[in-house]
Structure formats: structure tokens, C-alpha cells
Amino acid sequence: MLSTRLGRTGLKVSRIALGCMSYGTAAAGMHQWTLDEDAAAPLFRQAVELGVTFWDTANVYQGGTSEEFVGRAITRFARRSEIVLATKVSGPTADGPAGLSRKAILAQVDASLRRLGTDHIDVYYVHRFDPGTPVEETMQTLDGLVRAGKVLYLGASSMWAWQFAKLQHAAALNGWTTFSAMQDQYNVLKREEERDMIPMCLDQGVGLTPYSPLAKGRAARPWGERTARSSSDQVAVAFDRDVDRPVVAAVERVAAARGVPMAQVALAWVLSKPVVACPIVGATKPHHLADAVAALDLELTAEELTALEEHYQPQDNYWW
């Protein structure tokens, strides 16, 4: 497994991250397709064996049960020091209010630490921007968590570039900890972040840890094929745009010519971008992680990159 630095920090992360939204008690959250703890255990073990040691979850995933599964899996399959553990704050849970107020953050971080069974979080993301809280309050509170040792590095996820800039500026102006990671949606079908967010991250040395690198699986299988998740997940259904059909066809052609699965080509495209530290892969079957790791050895040619990109159609950032 290759590793890289997260942005300009000294933190080393595996080039593939394990997305843990796929794991949790189905009845406890909004997704009915998640794996229970027994079904998820082999995938946690496989991740350790493959060197996929950056694990990403959130306080809101399946009512907090995802964090519980992750915490127990670390104890069972690894040493805490081997895992770069990430979780998120801003969504509502039973442990405290939603948002990024001081009250919300302090309540939610302690609840996450308790569920994860650890005394610190390696990368703590603000899950969404909170327009109802002054950015100074949010960033000062997050800085306090770093100074207290509860959090080591900060990240943000899915917001407009001007909102991210506003948060970063408040921190820099006051000598508080700034964000080192941006977790946004980026894949061969969703490239709107190339307009503003990605150039900003490149300029400020913020590492990209994109989610949905396979476009909810749309870029990993021929057009029209469906899975249980792609047929029921309302977010995934938003990917059914006819204008994307030529892009998926291009992925299929490149994969066929290379003799590799489409998922490897789609991931190789994401990995080819210099701002990307590690794409987050939500594995529910053994071959998902195997394909992701294999994508690290797939270097796309300039001609292949052009073929994958030339049919893209601009769109609104409606997915968040």
C-alpha cells in the first residue's frame, strides 16, 4: 500500500481510505443496505491486511452505530496507532444538537469518542457548513479540541469554496488550527469541484479525500446495471443522468482495452489528480477493496484521460 502526506501536514495516510458509511445497524439510520457487524468484520480485516489504514466514518452514520462498529473493529483487527481514524460533526444525533456551535461540537465530539472507544480522533471533519453559527465560534472551538488533544487534524466536507475560505480565513487570522483536508464529492461523473474548490485546495496545500470516487457505483459497471443500493438509495438515484452515459461508456472502453474492471479505471482517474490524497472507498464486497488497491498500479495515458473527460457535461452542485 502506498502512502502520502495529508496536504501540507506530517500525517501519513494510505492512498486508499475505507469509507464506513456502509457499516451500521440498518434499522438505526437512513440506509437499509448497510452491513451489520458480523458482515462488516471481514472487510475491516481485509482493509488491515491490504494496508488500507485510513478509516472514515461520521457521527450520523446509522445512528452512531457505524462509529461503534469502527471502534470495535480497530480493537479486534489492529492497533489504534496503525489506524488514521476520521469522523465528522454537524449532523444531529441523540447526543446533542446539530450544527457547528460550541455547544454542539463539544457534545458531539465526546459522544463520538465514546462510541469509537478512543481518546482522540486523527482527522475531525465538519460535515457541512453551518450558516447559523459565526465562523469564529466554530474555528475557535475546533482549535480548542486540537489543543486539548482530542483531535489531531481538521477537515471540512462539501461546501461552497467561499464558505471554506471564510472558515480558513477566520482560523488563520486568529492563529487557530486550519483545515488540512477537504472531503468532497469528486469522480469522473461529478467534476464541478474543479471550478473553485480544487484550485483553492491546491493553492492552500489542503489534501483532497474525495467520497464517491466511483460515482455511487455508476462508473464501476455498464450503463443500466443496478444493485440493491443503486435502486433504493435516493442520493444514488440522482446520478441517473442520460448525459453521463458517454462518460460511463468511455470508462467501459478503457477498462476493456486494459483488461481490468471498470472500478479500477474510475479510481485510477481520481488518483491521477495531484490534489487527491486518498479517495474514500465504501466496500461491501471483498473485490471492492482489492480493485481499489489494484488501481494504484494503473497509470492512465494522456489519451485515456482525454477519452474519460471529453464527454463531461457541467451541472449544479445539487448533491449537497
Contact, 86 vs 155, CB < 8 A?
A: yes
C-beta separation of 108 from 59 below 8 A: yes
207: closest CA among 10, 19, 2, 60?
10
Distance CA 113, CA 116 (A): 5
CA angle, residues 53, 59, 64, in degrees to nearest 5: 95
- Cα separations in angstroms, 249 against 179, 240, 246, 288: 37, 14, 5, 20
61 noted as active-site residue: yes
Which member of 23, 61, 153, 186 is catalytic?
Answer: 61
Strand order across the 207-208 sheet = 207-208, 179-183, 151-157, 121-126, 84-89, 54-56, 17-19, 280-281
Helices 102-116 and 135-148: crossing angle in degrees, nearest 10, is 40
Strand 12-14 vs strand 3-5: parallel, antiparallel, or unpaired? antiparallel
Catalytic site positions: 61
